[in-house]
Chains A and B, each alone.
Chain A
Amino acid sequence: MADSDRLENSPIIANPQKQTKLLAALYLAQEEYGWLNPEAIEHVADRLGLSPGQVRSTASFYSMFNLEPQGEYRIQVCEGLSCYLAGGAETIIDYLAHLLNIQPGETTADGKFSLEVVQCIAACGSAPAMRVNDELYENLTLERIALIIRELEGGSP
């Protein structure tokens, strides 16, 4: 059988100097397109002389690249060490999953919320914490989370 790794890695075929820019290009594309939709993937592939398959394969490996559209509010729950020691992530995620009726990594049907689990977000001093878009919420309790979600949903806080 042919050694596909060898083929792929051969300087004759691979264009290493270009492919090494792939991660940086994906960050840029994600910023521009909001998420890595097929058009974004195509665009990057085209510019770097790679196949869309190659680009998607790399992108799908890394948690920072979104191959799905994101909700209007991206909820990122910290499961870092301090948050864990403060009794954090799991309870909070279960609760949010229940409130929003989605699993981590998913977006609500109305496109309003997506739920993610992330590592330390530098709020260790006031753990447990989560981030919604650029807003940081610290010292979380389930009661507060319910309020925050209700507020974001547009209901009265």
Chain B
Amino acid sequence: MPVLKNLTELKELREKARAQKADRENNKLTIILGMGTCGIAAGANEVAAAVREELDKRNIEAEIVNVGCIGMCHNEPLLDIQEPGGPRVTYTKVKPAMVGKIIEKHLVKGELSKRWIFGQLPGENGQTIEGLKTYDELPFYSKQIRIALRNCGIIDPESIEEYLASGGYGGLEKALFQMSPDEVIEEIKDSGLRGRGGAGFLTGLKWEFCRKAKDYPKYVICNADEGDPGAFMDRSVLEGDPHALLEGMIIAGYAIGAPEGYIYCRAEYPLAIVRLKKAIQQAYDLGFLGENILGSGYSFDLKIKEGAGAFVCGEETALIASIEGKRGEPRPRPPYPAASGLWGKPTNVNNVKSYAIASQIMVRGADWFSKIGTKKSPGTAVFALTGKIKNTGLVEVPMGISLREIIYDLGGGIINNKRFKAVQTGGPLGGCLPEDALDTAVDFDSLTAAGATMGSGGMIVVDQDTCMVEFARYFLTFASAESCGKCVPCRIGGQRLLEVLTRITRGEGSLEDLDEIERISKYMREGSLCALGQLTPGPVMASLRFFREEYEAHVTEKFCPAGVCAGMYAYEIDADPCTGCGLCAKACPTNAITGEKKEPHAIDQLQCIQCGACYEVCNFGAVLVKRKHELPVAEVNK
């Protein structure tokens, strides 16, 4: 395709892309496959092969379209069938062996097997099939507003035409041809957009600082280093809608007056890197990147830089050092990157979602955006739901929604009907909140006030079987291993804190250790050079604040109430609820459980190795976690 030389040519191409899409939707049978990392890990490639084989075998002609992740990772692999002029009908948890049946029923016999169908996405003109729920009527989607994820799972991320057909590069068009750089900045400022990388700084203001900086050249950087355990929001955008990010970055470049940009992507995201490279190439080919973009006179170059496995490189100054080819060590701010960043030049660093949202704000306007969400946190928040929750996956919700709605309405609640215990937001630098904080509104300020942080979108839910001391220790292990070692409070403080927590989970802690935790945390918060060290104690502090009694049980009674820390609990069968079904006795690897059929069973403490198998299998909640000293001494004293 030739380079687009002006606005007219862009408009023509977009119309052509739209017509093509409409033609496909109205006249062709389309099969749509979820090909994000989650889909592929669940077997989407095998499903795709089965689809091709079935279609060939039956001589059915269809277009196969690969899309990114639509958010229902727990239901992958996904397969959608869209008949000419109809809606998209989604099948979930598809196995290669099911493909033949699905195709036969749906396409040959015209039957819709409700057992396998999740729902339908209405067609371009709102067409639906009677009797099937639309996505908007389903709890996982009804409360979502998708801005950053607007195209994820909807369009083919490897096709710039599909992006154009969905209105893509319309924000750039408006910026370049209808607005001055200052007006673009005003628009973003008016929208109230706050950075989605964690700190929540006003994006428009950041752009303005950078524009006003006197030095040249300036740089635009996208932070795609997403390294939090349990977080994959940015990956989904990179894999599912890379052009949305590119468009946002080009707009930022224009607003700031930067000729060059970098996307710093973590190397652990190979698929994202492939899709980004492809998107960048397409953008160059069509003239959205390079010299004299769309004939506007503005030129912008964009490159990808791969990280090399250092979490701290997500911190903006460390990230800049890494792009320069140095050790990814943070440096004190100020000066902020907006004044002195890459190679000492003014640099704007934003998160993937911030750019993806900015491009949409340019299309729909600041007014539209600022009306979504809350006054001080306008717009939406993207969360990756993980842990002991039924519907794991990716959601985008308006700010101000409660944690409870996200966890129960969208997330479907806790798996195996266990009890909710805590939710961690902000990953290893965030904090957890207990059950009575579930009605907290999800926005930057409310979450911080409640004792957690917004973070960049990881939301990890744990149930009654998680030990909060051990949970905090997990994040601490992660964060302290990632300390770059440059400053002492972070390096030594993290180690010391880890020692204390390890002591506690081994039953060797004391009450003084709880004070010690607070002392070290304070020292790290106040003395560390960058936010990594300052925030590393966060998860520990939050869990100590909300689950102090659990810490105290560990240190005073040497008891782990969740039944996790080795040697700090025993199992006992409660005779009342026990039905004598025998499942536990079957599961026990050491034959420690005995009992007559239909009679309450019992555990021989001398044989029990606390593996928890009986606890897991019991359907009646009859296996209890007990303090060792509550049981007869003779039984416990191995």
Which A positions have Cβ atoms within 8 angstroms of B? 9, 11, 16, 18-24, 26-27, 57-58, 60-65, 79-82, 84-85, 119-120, 122-125
- Which positions 509-566 of chain B face chain A at CB distance < 8 Å? none
Q: Are the CB atoms of B309 and A122 closer together than 8 Å? A: no
Q: Contacting B460 at CB < 8 Å: which of A16, A20, A57, A81?
A: A81
Q: Which residues of A contact B386 (CB under 8 A)?
A: 81-82, 124
Q: Which of A21, A61, A63, A123: most chain B CB closer than 10 A? A: A61
Q: Are the CB atoms of A85 and B462 closer together than 8 Å? A: yes
| A-B pairs with beta carbons under 8 A, tally | 81
Q: Are the CB atoms of B387 and A16 closer together than 8 Å? A: no
A20-B325, A57-B327, A82-B230 given. 5 additional CB < 8 A pairs? Answer: A22-B326, A27-B267, A62-B310, A119-B227, A125-B42
Given contacts A119-B227, A119-B268, A125-B42, is CB(A19)–CB(B326) below 8 Å?
A: yes
Q: Which residues of A contact B309 (CB under 8 A)?
A: 62-64
Q: Contacting A61 at CB < 8 Å: which of B42, B305, B310, B387?
A: B310
- Decide yes or no whether B484 CB sits under 8 A from chain A: yes
Count of B interface residues, CB-CB < 8 Å: 35
- Which positions 353-404 of chain B face chain A at CB distance < 8 Å? 386-388
Q: Which residues of A contact B310 (CB under 8 A)?
A: 61-63
Q: Which residues of A contact B42 (CB under 8 A)?
A: 125
Question: Which secondary structure dominates where chain B touches chain A?
Answer: loop
Residue of A with least CB distance to B461: A85
* Bound-state Cα–Cα, A84 to B478, Å: 11
Pairs across A and B, CB under 8 Å, 10 listed: A19-B324, A23-B305, A23-B307, A27-B308, A58-B327, A61-B329, A85-B387, A85-B388, A123-B41, A124-B41
Q: Are the CB atoms of A80 and B343 closer together than 8 Å? A: no
| Closest-CB distance, A97 to chain B (whole angstroms) | 16
Q: Contacting A80 at CB < 8 Å: which of B229, B322, B484?
A: B229
Q: Are the CB atoms of B325 and A22 closer together than 8 Å? A: yes
- Decide yes or no whether B37 CB sits under 8 A from chain A: yes
Q: Which residues of B contact A65 (CB under 8 A)?
A: 308
- Decide yes or no whether B323 CB sits under 8 A from chain A: yes
Which B positions have Cβ atoms within 8 angstroms of A? 37-38, 41-42, 227, 229-230, 267-268, 305-310, 322-329, 343-344, 386-388, 460, 462, 466, 474, 477-478, 484
Question: Which secondary structure dominates where chain A touches chain B?
Answer: helix
Q: Contacting B37 at CB < 8 Å: which of A60, A84, A122?
A: A122
Q: Which residues of A contact B324 (CB under 8 A)?
A: 16, 19-20
* Bound-state Cα–Cα, A13 to B329, Å: 20
* Bound-state Cα–Cα, A125 to B77, Å: 12
Q: Are the CB atoms of B325 and A21 closer together than 8 Å? A: yes
Q: Which residues of A contact B229 (CB under 8 A)?
A: 80-81, 84, 119-120
Q: Are the CB atoms of B344 and A9 closer together than 8 Å? A: yes
Q: Contacting B328 at CB < 8 Å: which of A11, A61, A125?
A: A61
| Closest-CB distance, A7 to chain B (whole angstroms) | 13
Given contacts A26-B308, A63-B309, A120-B229, is CB(A58)–CB(B326) below 8 Å?
A: yes
Q: Which residues of A contact B37 (CB under 8 A)?
A: 122
* Bound-state Cα–Cα, A17 to B62, Å: 48
* Bound-state Cα–Cα, A122 to B474, Å: 19
* Bound-state Cα–Cα, A9 to B320, Å: 13
Q: Contacting B484 at CB < 8 Å: which of A9, A24, A61?
A: A61
Q: Which residues of B contact A18 (CB under 8 A)?
A: 325
Q: Are the CB atoms of A16 and B343 closer together than 8 Å? A: yes
* Bound-state Cα–Cα, A120 to B478, Å: 12
* Bound-state Cα–Cα, A57 to B229, Å: 27
Given contacts A27-B306, A27-B308, is CB(A20)–CB(B323) below 8 Å?
A: yes
Q: Which residues of B contact A124 (CB under 8 A)?
A: 41, 386
Residue of A with least CB distance to B611: A87
Q: Which residues of B contact A23 (CB under 8 A)?
A: 305-308, 322, 325
| Closest-CB distance, A37 to chain B (whole angstroms) | 18
Given contacts A58-B325, A119-B268, is CB(A24)–CB(B306) below 8 Å?
A: yes
Q: Which residues of B contact A26 (CB under 8 A)?
A: 308
| Closest-CB distance, A31 to chain B (whole angstroms) | 13
Q: Which residues of B contact A19 (CB under 8 A)?
A: 324-326
* Bound-state Cα–Cα, A26 to B328, Å: 15
* Bound-state Cα–Cα, A16 to B577, Å: 70
Residue of B with least CB distance to A82: B386
Residue of A with least CB distance to B227: A119
Residue of A with least CB distance to B331: A5
Residue of B with least CB distance to A62: B308
* Bound-state Cα–Cα, A61 to B268, Å: 16
